Amino acid sequence: MSDLAELALLRGSLDHCIKCTICETACPVAAATPLFPGPKYAGPQSERYRVLGEPSVDASVDYCSGCGICSQVCPQGVKIAEINAQARDKLKRQRGVPLRDRIITRPTWLGRVGTPVAPLANLTLRLRPTRVLAQRLLGVHRDAALPRFAGRRFSRWAAARSSPRSARRVVYFHGCGTEYYEPWEGEKVVAILEHNGFEVITPRQDCCGLPLQSSGLFDDARKAVLKLARALAAHLDGEETIIVGNATSCTLMLKREAREILALSEDPTLRLVAERTYDICELLLELHHRGELRTDFRALPETVAYHAPCQQQGHWIGKPALELLELIPELDVREMDARCCGIAGTYGIKAEKYEIGMRVGQELFSQVQASGAATVACDSETCRWQIAHATRREAVHPIDYLYRAYGLGQPGV
């Protein structure tokens, strides 16, 4: 099947819509701004008016953040967020892609430029005049949470050591956030996996293409995800070897989104990679259910607020992080039930969308503040940056708690 035929079939899921409006009531963006007319309207309803090859007439679909909650709550199986993503792609191709989107959708490129000059880059990116200028020139909101370059790369650390040989092997997909901004998260993932008897292979890898996809740059996104899939698949030697990642939106990209939204379901490599990919917490909880997870946890007498990001919910695996955190003695885990922090990848840093993103996240931020927890655990890095920015609290990946509870020591921060 051609990718066009595949997209036409995905679009055909609009047939399942019975107008029940459940998606409209769940959409966090429509609730926060009148600029987005809502998922039912922008998705299955408007799609009936869109003609292949004719110009896009509904720029409002660009205000969809792509969080995917609509598709998750739809009781009929309409691929609402995916239809919206296609409409955005068409709009972007027609309008031309702003320079900003060309830059912020390429974390690999950004990371390579920023890492060697990290102190300077971090300082510059925190200076008010720079941010005002960046908003004016690039449309990156001056108050938006931007990550700090770590100044070192996770892959260098991984290449300099070797994981103890084992019959149980995992291919580690660390993603760009770990590579350039939070290498310590990767070091903790490796330590936890090795603690549980895995040999961890870290192939050379670049961006999965998700930022490109969510900004509607589909062709570039396809190239990126296929390149990554080949890099990871090259290490899938045995039947048992799996891929594990800690960037939950990026693992979702490999599992499902690239295949559906980018119409790549028939690519055999991507299919293999999709079948073998696990979110880190998903894997650890599955081990626990099989009685294979080490539970030699120390008590952590503290309170943590846990937020399951939208993209994590898109895995359809429940909230494994929550169950894992509850294995840790004396850890008081507070589940936040607000849906979305508002960042949606790069949506919330864009000048025209920052305020919307902050309004979307308000309920979550209030819950966090009311929880009494000093720290928030969350599976997605961009969500962590947004939550930390908005609540002035530390935000970490849930595996940080497992790492500490295992007593695995201090990674080189």
Partner 1 sequence: MVTLTTDVLVIGGGATGAGVAWDASLRGLDVVLVERHDLAQGTSGRFHGMIHSGGRYAVKDPLAARECIAENRILRRIAADCMEDTGGLFVTTPHDDPAFAERFAQGCAQTGVPCEEITPAQALREEPRLHPGISRAFRVPDANIDVWKTVWALAHGAQQHGARILTYHAVTAILRDGDQVLGARVHDQRGGEDLEIRARVTVNATGAWAGRIAELAGIEGVRVFPGRGIMIAMNHRLVNTVVNRCQMPTDGDIIVPIRTVSVIGTTDHHTDDPDDQTVEQREVDQMLDDGEKLVPGFRQARALRVWTGVRPLFEDAKAADTDTRDVTRAHALLDHEQRDAVNGFVTITGGKLTTFRLMAEQTVDAVCRQLGETRACTTASEPLPGSERREHYRLGERLARKEADLNGEQLICECEMVSRQRLEQVIARTGSTDLDDIRRQLRLGMGPCQGGFCIYRATGVLHARDGLGADQADASLMAFLQERWKGVWPVLHGDQLRQARLDEWIFHGVLDVEHLPR
Q: Are 229 and 254 in contact (CB under 8 A)?
A: yes
Per CB under 8 A, which of residues 12..31 are in contact with partner 1?
12, 14-20
CB of 274 to partner 1, least distance (A): 23
User: Does residue number 8 form part of the binding site for partner 1 (CB under 8 A)?
Assistant: yes
What residues contact residue 270 under an 8 Å CB cut-off, 6+ apart?
225, 226, 229, 254, 258, 259, 264
User: Does residue number 59 form part of the binding site for partner 1 (CB under 8 A)?
Assistant: yes
Using the rule CB under 8 A, give the single segment among 52-60, 161-169, 332-340, 366-374 that binds partner 1.
52-60
CB closer to partner 1, 20 vs 137: 20
Using the rule CB under 8 A, give the single segment among 42-50, 181-189, 201-209, 346-354 that binds partner 1.
42-50
User: Does residue number 410 form part of the binding site for partner 1 (CB under 8 A)?
Assistant: no
CB of 49 to partner 1, least distance (A): 4
CB of 129 to partner 1, least distance (A): 36
Q: What do you get for the CA distance between the two ends of the chain, in Å?
A: 48
Q: Minimal CA–CA distance to 387: which of 145, 112, 47, 203?
A: 145
DSSP code, position 89: H
CB of 342 to partner 1, least distance (A): 21
Q: How many C-beta neighbours within 10 Å does residue 48 have?
A: 11
Q: Minimal CA–CA distance to 180: which of 157, 150, 156, 210?
A: 150
CB closer to partner 1, 259 vs 307: 259
Using the rule CB under 8 A, give the single segment among 53-61, 198-206, 234-242, 390-398 that binds partner 1.
53-61
CB of 82 to partner 1, least distance (A): 15
User: Does residue number 4 form part of the binding site for partner 1 (CB under 8 A)?
Assistant: yes
What residues contact residue 388 under an 8 Å CB cut-off, 6+ apart?
145, 376, 394, 395
User: Does residue number 137 form part of the binding site for partner 1 (CB under 8 A)?
Assistant: no
CB closer to partner 1, 77 vs 329: 77
Which neighbouring-strand residues pair with 378?
Answer: 307
CB closer to partner 1, 34 vs 409: 34
Using the rule CB under 8 A, give the single segment among 32-40, 208-216, 315-323, 348-356 that binds partner 1.
32-40
Per CB under 8 A, which of residues 62..121 are in contact with partner 1?
76
CB of 58 to partner 1, least distance (A): 5
Tokens matching residue 302: 């503290």
- Selected from 30, 32, 46, 181, the binder of partner 1 by CB under 8 A is 46
Phi/psi for 191 (5° steps) reads -60, -40
User: Does residue number 231 form part of the binding site for partner 1 (CB under 8 A)?
Assistant: no
* Residue 362: CA count within 13 A, CB half-sphere: 11
Task: Let me know the angle formed at the C-alpha of 143 by 140 and 149, rounded to the nearest 5 degrees.
Answer: 75
Which neighbouring-strand residues pair with 383?
Answer: none
User: How many residues of this chain bind partner 1 (CB under 8 A)?
Assistant: 37
- Selected from 53, 164, 291, 409, the binder of partner 1 by CB under 8 A is 53
User: Does residue number 156 form part of the binding site for partner 1 (CB under 8 A)?
Assistant: no
Q: Is 111 helix (H, G, I), strand (E, B) or coil?
A: helix
Which strands make up the sheet holding 394-396, listed edge to edge?
332-335, 303-307, 375-378, 394-396
Phi/psi for 333 (5° steps) reads -100, 125
CB closer to partner 1, 80 vs 189: 80
166/334 Cα distance (integer angstroms): 36
- Selected from 28, 47, 264, 321, the binder of partner 1 by CB under 8 A is 47
CB closer to partner 1, 2 vs 410: 2
- Selected from 29, 41, 83, 336, the binder of partner 1 by CB under 8 A is 41
CB closer to partner 1, 40 vs 404: 40
Query: Pairing between strand 332-335 and 303-307?
Result: parallel
Q: Minimal CA–CA distance to 283: which of 401, 165, 169?
A: 169
- Selected from 22, 35, 121, 351, the binder of partner 1 by CB under 8 A is 35
* Residue 325: CA count within 13 A, CB half-sphere: 27
248/280 Cα distance (integer angstroms): 8
Q: Are 253 and 209 in contact (CB under 8 A)?
A: yes
Residues that bind partner 1 in the complex, under the rule CB under 8 A: 1-2, 4-5, 7-9, 11-12, 14-20, 34-35, 37, 40-41, 45-55, 57-60, 76
